[in-house]
Structure 1
């Protein structure tokens, strides 16, 4: 196959999944969405549900109200979740304020900061989907490619620094966002073009794919695709969990290139033994001049060789695992058109969550504020939305969202430190300094009640788990110990649980798989410590591990390193014998 030829869809007779058939018939993601938008129904059909993901939206229903809806004879309480594409999590105060307005006016009055440095709105009614997307684009943001079988939001270190390194990371993030984006005109026509406009619409049939989608072709990718850019000393975006991870290589204060890692991915299906979470593998070193072309070549290899018959094994990690990294690299070199150099010895060595006060290097400061599980809301106890509104209006600076669902306020003058903290406290938001270490390093996916894949609670459950861990940690003298706890409502792993120190993954109703042995550095997979742990004893199980860690750890050993060294069987014995504080 020519290295420049777009994928022309599955070959005749090739077995393909139902979603592939939907994409083929969609006319570059348009489908029958216009007709359904105009129809007087409260939900979309199954084909358009798949296509809407490419436009940044998932159809959901309130699972807490399913019985109520059934009794009322109305089917389900449907709504749409809308996700934005915000490269590197950088957003202006005015844009952030507009999003807060939208969550109140058009959503469920909450806003979610995601694990990929972007924003989700929940509870949008079908009739409000188009106005919401239009408003988002009016403030120079987009939802295109936030979901679907394309490259999604590109993660990048959110720290604001007045140096050439971080400036280049941000520039590359923006360049790659454009270079890896779908080009279909359907997005503009569906959401931005005024109804009844005379503007020409995409004509079906006979349109050369290379003119409409030069990178993706008419069938796009076999599955979702994720990218992140990081520094060795600061793996704050979990580079090993990405389909493509770019590790910046710095010499004498300048980026000389990137180690390219390929094939990371968190999701798994326990019932299918050929599925698994995977960390990316080191593939090659590329220069700054090569990086965009190589990333496109990697995407093309997955586009043309990924599994289109079974979506559960369609991620690029399975192609890398089946082929091996040597064959995969050779294929990338064919698409790119020249051989690549081997990776340098550089690897991840640190992780800064960028919380609290940090020096930007330009005479100003940034302040990272921990947002528990990324959820912004107002109630009698906390006024997070009101507090962020006040801060955005007062300081009018750039806001940066982190890969741990929190926010960073930039460009704060030294003289204004107390003013910022006062605004935080006056809205009953805990400062980062008042937040326990275990809470600061925890995160959860949305799960119930809106995620259709969730088996158990996650975002609504993790805070109470942390509440019950704080006192035992204090008694063990581990309050300042840094380790990650991540929780998901199903095995798809949206909160990246499989490389955490400890993780809870929903497996059955009110039961979790407890993982141990990953680490905050993000470069090692955890193992199954215990399966099907009942919800009411998960805290005791974790306290047992922590108590064993306190008693048996080596000097300066991290929790993840300890669990990895001891192994699951011996750790269970130690934890069972360890006294509970």
Structure 2
């Protein structure tokens, strides 16, 4: 039997000289604003994607011009924490070197820039480096930005969890010096091949890998949607270990039933000193067992499904040299952020600001970007980006509260939001994402206005419902873990998914396919009416949809998501 042909990305990685490719030559070329096809895959490992303005494609084509190419660069910020000084540097770059003149907070607790011309890429990366920030491995077939519950209340436990997020992120970075050589003008080091990538090897992982650290009862990092998750187990406010979960992932492909979103499996409890061993073990099993033929089936979730939970667990234990203990009891609860002021155990105050769509820009009458800049100039604590695309002004002394609040209020950063709006997120989608089939970020605020109005009409305005929208089924805003998930199918048309639970421990399922706004709102109106009249005490919307048999629950994603 002949050997199966690998996915083209595998050959690109193998031949890339550890992610160098011809990126340097492409960067120097003034002939086009783009990189070659092969280098477009490799630059992802360096933290950015090539895009173009799809709103202008036809106009530029008619003028016989190439698409208006630009780049989206995503930073690596473990746990989403940065200093005010770093924020000022980030803001300066956005203002001076991007056409969008904005900062976008992502659903993985970092920020990204849009509208970067190729000529500015190197300047931006060097600017980030001066702020002790980088974009290494923010994209690509490697471990990406490690999320961590921002926990503004229990500062001691947050600090311990955050330290693990940083350790995991730093330890699992690619070791190649390609990033330093190309973008920071470092000299090439002479090393043996075995020294270059001790965890990843020459071909890195079969696909992207996402990791999160959760601190119960909060599940704001959606820990079960990650390839690898660490759920903190505490005793009297001190971290004693983690429940490890693995095999989550949101992406799927419309119409291809062999692809599906999945939530992670519970593997067991591990001690802090064994954390890195287990992280490496899970990643190297995925490296060696993952599908390198079909990229649509190459995420860790499929590796576990294809090889079986028991076999995968046994191999992880073998490589870690440690056995899992029985999982500890933990409570997984709210996925939302705590808006407004909250006080921590350290007597410091924390102000969570709602940022619509995560987009920090100066709108008419709402100069959000200027406001954040002014806050950074006087704040003495840190900033914490959340996985709900919001930001926390953390560690504020009692004496500084009024000044912080006044600046935020003066710049439109203090807003009242409905419970559902405060729990909901959307991806960027059009006009820049090349995968988007429908709008998300630009349309979502208007859509949520209508959802809020529907909830008010049926007397359930106080009930938070997790609503998420994406322009395609790759799932960047984790729509398949939402109580109401909307996934773009075509311009103005979405698939409607229902039945996930509020806590994020059950997936949703397709309810209606390829429908427009009027049909979506009609369906939701009827469902809200039923929910308002028939809900049990403390019953959430997703649980109502399953109990009332509006939709069947997804217990086993491989079997139930399409069935």
Q: How many residues align?
A: 550
Deviations 1:334-367 (A, max 9, x none): 2112332232233524445132211121221001
5+ residue gaps in structure 2?
A: 554-563
**2:88 paired with 1:88:** no
**2:105 paired with 1:121:** no
5+ residue gaps in structure 1?
A: 1-11, 572-581
- Please give the secondary structure, in 2, of the residue aligned with 1:505: strand
- Please give the secondary structure, in 2, of the residue aligned with 1:136: helix
Instruction: Measure, in 1, the Cα distance between the counterparts of 2:333 and 2:454.
Output: 29
1:20 is aligned to 10
Deviations 1:97-148 (A, max 9, x none): 1111111111121111000000010000011111111111111001000000
* Structure 2 residue corresponding to 1:496, chosen from 445, 454, 478: 478
Shift of 1:72: 1.4
Instruction: Measure, in 1, the Cα distance between the counterparts of 2:419 and 2:543.
Output: 18
For 1:45-444, what aligned pairs fall within 5 Å after superposition?
45-107=36-98, 108-161=100-153, 163-193=155-185, 199=187, 201=188, 208-431=192-415, 434-444=416-426
Q: Following TM superposition, where does structure 1 have runs of at least 4 consecutive aligned residues deviating by more than 4 angstroms?
A: none
Deviations 1:53-89 (A, max 9, x none): 0000000000000011111111200000000000000
TM-score, normalised to structure 2, is 0.95
Instruction: Measure, in 2, the Cα distance between the counterparts of 1:487 and 1:271.
Output: 19
Shift of 1:314: 0.2
2:155 and 2:345 in contact (8 A); partners too: yes
Instruction: Measure, in 2, the Cα distance between the counterparts of 1:472 and 1:166.
Output: 37
Instruction: Measure, in 1, the Cα distance between the counterparts of 2:541 and 2:19.
Output: 46
Instruction: Measure, in 2, the Cα distance between the counterparts of 1:570 and 1:540.
Output: 21
1:483 and 1:519 in contact (8 A); partners too: no
Deviations 1:287-325 (A, max 9, x none): 011011111100000000100001000000001112222
Q: Describe the shift of the 1:533–1:309 C-alpha distance in structure 2 as closer, same or farther (beyond 3 A).
A: same
Deviations 1:34-60 (A, max 9, x none): 111111121101100000000000000
Instruction: Measure, in 1, the Cα distance between the counterparts of 2:76 and 2:47.
Output: 8
Q: Describe the shift of the 1:377–1:350 C-alpha distance in structure 2 as closer, same or farther (beyond 3 A).
A: closer
2:556 is aligned to none
* Structure 2 residue corresponding to 1:30, chosen from 9, 20, 31: 20
Shift of 1:470: 2.2
- Please give the secondary structure, in 1, of the residue aligned with 2:73: strand
Instruction: Measure, in 2, the Cα distance between the counterparts of 1:93 and 1:85.
Output: 16
Deviations 1:514-547 (A, max 9, x none): 1111123110101111111113432332222222
**2:461 paired with 1:479:** yes
1:261 and 1:283 in contact (8 A); partners too: yes
**2:543 paired with 1:553:** no
Deviations 1:453-491 (A, max 9, x none): 000000001100111222232232222211110000000
2:161 and 2:215 in contact (8 A); partners too: no
Instruction: Measure, in 2, the Cα distance between the counterparts of 1:164 and 1:75.
Output: 53
TM-score, normalised to structure 1, is 0.92
Greater mean alpha carbon deviation, residues 97-106 or residues 492-501: 97-106
Q: Describe the shift of the 1:345–1:411 C-alpha distance in structure 2 as closer, same or farther (beyond 3 A).
A: closer
Greater mean alpha carbon deviation, residues 386-395 or residues 491-500: 386-395
1:6 is aligned to none
Deviations 1:22-43 (A, max 9, x none): 0000000000011111111211
Q: Describe the shift of the 1:161–1:210 C-alpha distance in structure 2 as closer, same or farther (beyond 3 A).
A: farther
